[in-house]
Amino acid sequence: MNIDKKTIQEMAFWVRVRIPDDEAEVMAKDFTETLTWMGERLKSPELQNVPPMVSPFDEPILIRKDEVTDGDKREAVLKNAPEGATDEFFAVPKMVE
């Protein structure tokens, strides 16, 4: 699989970080190498009928009764809010629709 600098930049945007062009170049090259050898190993016929292991956890999903047991703690929720927040709301730069 070939990853180019443009793809790296796209992925950086997906996770909302920036990467300078020269670093992206290097990362693209290294990552392509990594993906190549990993790709080989991960195509092993041994994996054919093996189920994927999502987690070591094997118990049933925990189900909660429908009751209001939380909330009503606006002060705590807003405690660490960055500047611009009011007593009631979080604030971020204006969002375009």
Partner 1 sequence: MTYRIQGQRQEWELICGLEVHCEILSKSKVFSGASAEFGGDPNTHVAFLDCGMPGQLPILNEKCVEQCIKTGMGLNAKINAYSVFDRKNYFYGDLPTGYQITQLFYPIVGEGYLDVTDEDGQTKRIGIERLHLEQDAGKSIHDMHPTQSYLDFNRAGVGLMEIVSKPDIHSPEQAGDYLRRLRSIVRYLGTCDGNMDEGSMRCDINVSVRPVGEEGFRHRVEIKNVNSVKFVMQAIDLEAHRQVSLYDAGKDFPQETRLFDAAEMETRPMRSKENALDYRYFPDPDLPPLRLTQDYIEDIRAHLPELPAAKKERYMAQLGLPEYDARILTADKETAAYFERAYKGRDAKKVANWIMGDLFGMLNKECLSIENSPVRPEDLGALIDLINDGTISGKIAKEVFEIMFETGKSPAVIVEEKGLKQVSDTGAIEQMISDILAANMDKVAEIKAGKDKLKGWFVGQVMKASQGKVNPALANQLLEKKLGEM
Partner 2 sequence: MTDLTNLTLSETVKGLENKEFSSVEVTKAYLDKMEQLRRLNAYITETPDVALKMAADSDKRRAEGKAGSLEGVPMAIKDMFCTKGIRTTAASRILSNFVPEFEATTTQRLWNAGAVCLGKTNTDEFAMGSSTITSYFGVTHNPHDENRVPGGSSGGSAAAVAAHMCAGATGTETGGSIRHPASFCQITGFKPTYGRCSRYGVIAYASSLDEPGVLGRSVEDCARMIQPMMGFDEKDSTSSHREVPDMLAALDKNIKGMKLGIPKQYTELVPDNWEPALEFLKSEGVEFVDIDMPHTEEAGMVYYVISQGEATTNLARYDGARYGVREEGKTLDEMYMNTRMEGFGQEVRNRMILGTFFTSAKGYNDYFVPAQKMRTLIKQDFDKAFEKCDVLFSPAVPIKPFTIEEAKHGAAKGRFNDNYLMPSCLTGVPAGCANNGLQVIGRMWDDATVLKVLQVVEMSK
Residues in contact with partner 1 by CB under 8 A are 14, 16, 54-55, 57, 59-74, 76-78, 84, 86, 88-97
What DSSP designation does 52 have?
A: P
Binding at 20: pick from partner 1, partner 2, none (beta carbon under 5-8 Å per type)? none
Residues in contact with partner 2 by CB under 8 A are 1, 3, 8, 11-12, 14-19, 27, 31, 34-35, 38-39, 41-44, 46-47, 50-57, 59, 61-62, 64, 73, 76-77, 79-83, 90, 92-96
Instruction: Name the residue with tokens 């041994």.
Output: 46
Query: What end-to-end distance do the CA atoms of the chain give, in Å?
Result: 36
**The length of the chain, given as a count of residues:** 97
Rounded least distance, CB 47 to partner 1, Å: 18
- Rounded-to-integer distance, Cα 48 and Cα 50, Å: 6
CA 41, 46, 50, 55 torsion-angle sign: negative
Binding at 86: pick from partner 1, partner 2, none (beta carbon under 5-8 Å per type)? partner 1
